[in-house]
Amino acid sequence: MYRRKSQCCQGFYENGEICAPHCTESCVHGRCTAPNTCQCEPGWGGNNCSSACDSTHWGPHCSNRCQCVNGALCNPISGACVCSRGFRGWRCELQCEPGSYGHGCQQKCQCQNAAQCHHMSGECRCSPGYMGAFCEEHCPAGKHGPQCEERCSCHNEAVCHHVTGECSCPPGWTGKLCSQSCPQGTFGPNCSHECQCHNNGLCSASSGRCLCGPGYTGDR
């Protein structure tokens, strides 16, 4: 008499009514799909699925390369990019929009006077003519321009514009640097007024007050 007996192929073992593959090393984060062959879960690799994916790979057996840029972290399971401070976009390829900064571009810039805000730190880059942590202050007297580093050239106590360096002359003075006195017969801001003095009286360039010649008196 004869009896038929089934036997599992090499590399397999009986598991109930089926022949299951056998892996010498246990699959830590995966399952044994063929003799000594592990099918790893997403985010894990190595012969026995015990090695986590490095920062540049993701997915089953870490077979997919991350597409993230600008120092972003890559999710080892899904491949999604976790952007670093100051960046946004699917691959974190874009800087924060103007007016925002920080993680997820969620923080609002505090800069004033058209200053630019650094997309990562929120630090203010002042426009010419301004200074301070938030660019809220004008350049100090005598200075103007970018970073308030340029020195004003105005004369005779003229006021220097904090942005352009243009001189605002006091009454009685004119010229680009306010170094010229008003022409005879004129006075006041920008020498825009005509003197009203009579009989050869001299006119003060700043106030317009008449200085009478010998033999004359009165306001004019």
Q: What are the residue ranges spanned by the domains of the chain?
A: 8-82, 169-220
Same CATH topology for 8-82 and 169-220?
no
Rounded distance, CA 170 to CA 47, Å?
Answer: 85
Q: pLDDT digit string (tens) for 61-118?
A: 999 999 999 999 999 999 999 999 999 999 999 999 999 999 999 999 999 999 999 9
Q: Which CATH number fits domain 169-220: 2.170.300.10, 3.90.1150.10, 3.30.70.260, 3.20.20.140?
A: 2.170.300.10
The 8-class DSSP code of residue 140 comes to P
Neighbours of 7 (CB within 10 A): 8
Q: Which two tokens stand for residue 3?
A: 């009896």
Rounded distance, CA 27 to CA 35, Å?
Answer: 12
Q: pLDDT digit string (tens) for 160-207?
A: 999 999 999 999 899 999 999 988 888 888 888 899 889 888 888 888
Rounded distance, CA 177 to CA 158, Å?
Answer: 8
Q: Supply the CATH classification number for the domain 8-82.
A: 2.10.25
Q: Is the pTM of this model over 0.75?
A: no
